[in-house]
Amino acid sequence: MEGLGKSIANIREQKESFEGLKVNPRLITIDGPDGAGKTTIAGKVLELLKEKALKENKDPNDTVYVKYIKYLDTDSQKRLKDLTHKEGVLNDIKGKNDFEKLAKLYSARAQRSYQDHIVPLLDSGKTVILDRSELDILRGAIEWGDEKLVKTVEDYYKKGIITHGVTAGNRIFVSGEAEDLWKNLNERGEHKTHNDPKSLDEMKARLESEDKAEKNILSIPVKGEVNVVNIKNKRCEEKTESDEQISKLAKEIISQLKF
């Protein structure tokens, strides 16, 4: 882990660089358990916000979509990704030490996304829709059952280390029934990831840890007001019905955004 340790060293060095978290209303995060339809909803919200901008004679390109830690296109991000696979961090997860490595890994990758993409976009006046947020790291720590690790992740977030001192002014929490989410997840087939729930019981546990992570992250003091929008996505068997549902939910989200 020597290479990865060096790669995340700048996170520790930045510990005193931020004075807590400052809310930015133009940062919209969309979180929720696997299978809840976050990415589809995020795409529809982006589409409708661009349409709204055109009607108001504004630049639709002022609203952008970012895929959180999977947005890995800078040299530092590529090096971090290479180190991850070279050192086998994502393989053979067995104990608490491995969970700690994962938490540090994802914290480092999130930090890169904020540093290289999200903060510069916000500084340039863009509105950013973020598909998943640092809440996902906290949810993982909770799910792994290590209270010390949970506190460490919360401390990283509280001090602004992971997000460069910025936090979302609009947090969208998408959820659904465990049975619906499990069916949705199974439809992904080969697109599943190593971190997806492996059974209905694991999906139910994922919902519980997601709910706890949402409550925990909202309890952390920030400078400014965070607007929270809770959305429940019901499974639809027919594509037409599903498209209508997503459109309805996206419109509901937009109507509740606060800038």
DSSP category for residue 116: I
Residue ranges covered by each domain of the chain:
2-256
* pLDDT tens-digit profile, the chain (259 residues): 344 444 444 554 554 457 789 999 999 999 999 899 999 999 999 999 999 999 999 999 999 999 866 545 556 556 655 655 554 444 554 455 566 777 777 788 888 889 888 999 999 999 999 999 999 999 988 988 778 889 989 998 999 989 999 999 999 999 999 999 999 998 876 556 677 899 999 999 999 999 999 999 999 999 999 999 999 999 999 999 999 999 999 999 999 999 9
Kindly list the distances between the CA atom of residue 222 and the CA atoms of 150, 158, 159, 160, 229, in Å, as whole numbers in the listed order: 18, 8, 10, 10, 18
Query: Among 137, 136, 116, which Cα is nearest to 128's?
Result: 116
Tell me the C-alpha distance between 30 and 171, whole Å.
6
Q: Which fold has domain 2-256?
A: Rossmann fold (3.40.50)
Prediction pTM value: 0.86
